[in-house]
Chain A
Amino acid sequence: MNTLTIAWIVLPFIAGFSIFLVPRLDRYLAIFATIGSAGYALQLIISRSPIALQLLDNFGVTLLIDSLSGYFILTNALVTAAVILYCWQSEKAAFFYGQLIILHGSLNAAFACTDFVSLYVALEVSGIAAALLIAYPRTDRSIWVALRYLFVSNVGMLFYLVGAVLVYKAHHSFTFAGLRGSPPEALALIFMGLLTKAGVFVSGSWLPLTHSESETPVSAMLSGIVVKAGVYPLVRCALILDEIDPIIRVFGVGTAVLGVSYAVFEKDTKRMLAFHTVSQLGFMLAAPEVSGFYALTHGLVKSALFMLAGALPSRNFKELQQQPIDRSLWIVLAIAGFSISGFPLLSGFGAKVLTMKNLLPWQEIAMNMVAVGTAISFAKFIFLPHQQGVDPKPIKLGFWLAIGLLLGGLVVANIVYFEAYDAENTIKAIAIIAAGWLAYAAIFRRTVIKLPQMFERFEDLIGVMTLVTILLFWATFV
């Protein structure tokens, strides 16, 4: 099993470098590596036996892989595979697939390691690969967005490094467990870096622009899985150390409320999806024990939604309400919208029920409000006018394969938590959706309030980091 684990970590990197050597095999090598990851993750989830590895000596790399990381790895494999299928018939160069699979590999490594240095390396590699993917079209705007992303994440990670060495100073080891008994400034600096990387709460104000201005497949990848590489270590720390758990939960609720309140007022499809990602990260942090399943359902549905938004004729909801979209496109859009709003029969329902069950009493009201907000935001997609046989853009087969894989995954994932299907949960879920739709029809359909683009300028993104550090320092001190 240990050899298999190492082989699984190394496989995407070997595939990535082979793509540069044999560019003709690019897609096949890339999809092969994702199938390997998916198989490994499924085996992990089914066997439920955690694997703990300590490579090299005392100060070496430590890995811990259990069913929680199994869900994250499975999400990673499915989203990457869907993105490769989506791009299959496009004119993307081998470089794109090479970077994509290296990104996949570095995220796998981030979901496996339990020490701060390996995590640092994995996160930085994923940051570089993601920036290269964002800059792939090489327009001025894409280069600026990539530069901004790299800048913000690297400054966050420099603070993280200072925090990591403070942990080392206290314990002579870099493992996550060393956070216990470390000085509060170590915790504040490390968490600031991770919160920035994950795009949580106000330190996530870089996220909407980055995710909405990238190309469709890259947005799907970023929102589907890359941000979760920052969430996973936070969740892991909260599970290892009970003292940290309340801090993570507070940040979860804060980011869920902040993200969804922007999402309901947003008039641009991709920006709305990006703000909604911020709020869903909050759901994962609000209930750390069950975040794996939520990450899986959110990753699948959000990447499908980004691909669908890329196929719509316009990015503006106002214009979309004027011109009908194709019926087949609308059906898949509605399925994805139903899943993310938590409608029964799709696994978004199971994930929401499971998360709500693991909330603490003080979180419940806020999170139910956020669930209603989600239903409001996705009513914008579900109530778009549609018609048979409108075909403004020819849609490729790869697109349908990718969507089929993601939505099929959503239906199959129901088996993970089929206990959710009882009368009370079903009625509650339908009531939340009905409340959301009523609010949409009565108020939000016509509102033209435009919230200010808070903290999205470059200097603000960096400046906000100081605020978050002070907040974290205060939270750990109390």
Chain B
Amino acid sequence: MLEAFTLATILCGFFAIIFKQNLVMKIFAMDVMSTGVIAYYVLIAAHGGLITPIIGNAKQNAAYADPVPQSVILTAIVIGFSIQALMLVGAMKLAQDHPTLDTREIEKGNAP
């Protein structure tokens, strides 16, 4: 059930990237997509249990969450965030000459 929701989030983001015209909306759509991916990792980590795997946190042999996907996705969150920031700076620069930020127009102006 939850898995279906996260996959739906990924697809929503993906189709918004295609169908939204505005560049900033496209960038946000990519963020929605990466949120879906992050949620999917967290969900898979929680398959075995929900207790945080920290020493001294809980009793022996409890149902711990898997720490590996969580630590992996932490790296991906940082990378995604920096790419997001870089893209927004690019969009800001482009906005000076293309105030509407319509991708079709930007593309027409910059095609060879």
Binding site for B on A (CB under 8 A): 59, 117, 120-121, 124-125, 127-128, 131-132, 135, 138, 140-141, 143-147, 150-151, 154-155, 158, 161-162, 165, 168-169, 172, 174, 209, 212-213, 268, 271, 457-459, 462-463
A340 to B66, CA, bound (A): 51
Tell me the bound Cα distance from A463 to B94 in angstroms.
24
Asked if A147 and B94 make an inter-chain contact with CB atoms under 8 angstroms apart, the answer reads yes
The residue in chain B whose Cβ has the minimal distance to the Cβ of A138 is B93
Greatest chain A CB density within 10 A among B14, B40, B109, B110 is at B110
The answer to whether B94 and A144 touch across the interface, beta carbons within 8 angstroms, is yes
CB pair B94–A162 under 8 Å, yes or no, is: no
A150 to B14, CA, bound (A): 15
Q: Are B44 and A168 in contact (CB under 8 A)?
A: yes
Question: With A268-B112, A462-B17 given, is the CB distance from A117 to B87 under 8 Å?
Answer: no
Bound CA span A169–B14, Å: 23
B72 at the interface (CB under 8 A from A): yes
Known contacts A140-B94, A147-B91, A462-B17; A154 and B107 CB within 8 A of each other: no
Pair B18/A459 contact, Cβ less than 8 Å: yes
Q: Does B86 count as interface, using CB distance less than 8 angstroms?
A: yes
Is the CB–CB distance between B90 and A168 below 8 Å?
no
Residues of B within 8 A of A213 (CB): 112
Asked if residues A145 and B44 are in contact (CB atoms below 8 Å), the reply is no
CA of A165 to CA of B44, assembled, Å: 8
A143 near B10: Cβ-Cβ < 8 Å: no
A154–B112 CB distance below 8 A: no
Would you list 23 pairs from A and B whose C-beta atoms are within 8 A, ordered by A residue? A117-B75, A140-B94, A140-B109, A143-B94, A144-B90, A144-B107, A145-B110, A147-B94, A150-B87, A151-B30, A154-B83, A158-B30, A161-B76, A162-B10, A162-B37, A165-B69, A169-B44, A174-B72, A209-B111, A212-B112, A213-B112, A271-B112, A459-B103
A457 in contact with B107 (CB, 8 Å):
yes
Within 8 A of A (CB), among B5-41: 10, 14, 17-18, 23, 26, 30, 33-34, 37, 40-41
B61, chain A: closest CB distance, angstroms: 18
Complex contact B37–A155 (CB within 8 A)? no
Residue in contact with A124 in the complex, picked from B47, B79, B109, B112, CB distance below 8 Å: B79
In the bound complex, residues from chain A placing their C-beta under 8 Å from that of B73 are: 161
Give the distance to chain B from A170, nearest Cβ to Cβ, in Å: 11
Cβ–Cβ contact B83 & A158, under 8 A: no
Partner of A144, one of B14, B68, B83, B106: B106
User: A365–B96 Cα gap in the complex (Å)?
Assistant: 52
Q: Are B40 and A165 in contact (CB under 8 A)?
A: yes
Q: Which B residues lie within 8 Å of A145 (CB)?
A: 110
Q: Give chain B residues whose Cβ lies under 8 Å from the Cβ of A146.
A: 90
Q: Tell me the interface secondary structure of chain A in the complex.
A: helix
Given the known inter-chain contacts A128-B82, A128-B83, A168-B44, please indicate yes or no for A147 contacting B90, CB distance below 8 A: yes
What residue in chain B is nearest A460 (Cβ atoms)? B18
B90 and A120 form a contact (CB under 8 A): no
Q: A124's closest neighbor in chain B, by CB?
A: B79
Q: A131 and B112: CB pair below 8 A?
A: no
Q: Are A140's CB and B97's CB within 8 A?
A: yes
- Which residue in B34, B69, B112 is a CB contact (below 8 Å) of A158? B34
Q: Which residue of B lies closest to A131 (CB)?
A: B86
Produce 1/0 per residue, B32-64, CB < 8 A to A: 011001001100100100000000000000000
**B18: chain A residues within 8 A (beta carbon):** 459, 462-463
- Assess the B41–A165 pair: CB atoms within 8 A: yes
Q: How far is B103's CA from A234's CA once the two chains are assembled, in angstroms?
A: 32
Q: In angstroms, how far is the closest chain A Cβ from the Cβ of B49?
A: 15
Further contacts, 10 of them, CB under 8 A, given A121-B75, A145-B110, A151-B26:
A120-B76, A125-B79, A135-B90, A143-B94, A158-B37, A165-B40, A165-B69, A168-B69, A213-B112, A457-B107
Asked whether, in the complex, the Cβ of A128 is within 8 Å of the Cβ of B69, the reply is no
User: 6 tightest CB-CB pairs across the interface, nearest first?
Assistant: A141-B110, A147-B90, A144-B110, A124-B79, A59-B68, A143-B90
Say yes or no: A168 contacts B68, CB within 8 Å.
yes
Taking the closest CB of chain B, its distance from the CB of A193, in whole angstroms, is 12
Q: A132–B98 Cα gap in the complex (Å)?
A: 21
Asked if B44 and A458 make an inter-chain contact with CB atoms under 8 angstroms apart, the answer reads no
Write out the residue numbers on chain A whose beta carbons fall within 8 Å of the beta carbon of B97. Answer: 140
Q: How far is the CA of A219 from the CA of B46 in the complex (A)?
A: 45
Which A residues are in CB contact (< 8 Å) with B93?
A: 138, 140, 143
User: Do B83 and A124 have beta carbons less than 8 Å apart?
Assistant: yes
CA distance A158 to B34 in the complex (A): 7
Across-interface contacts of A140 in B (CB, < 8 A):
93-94, 97-98, 109-110
Bound-complex Cα distance A333 to B40 (A): 52
B residues within 8 A CB of A172?
Answer: 68
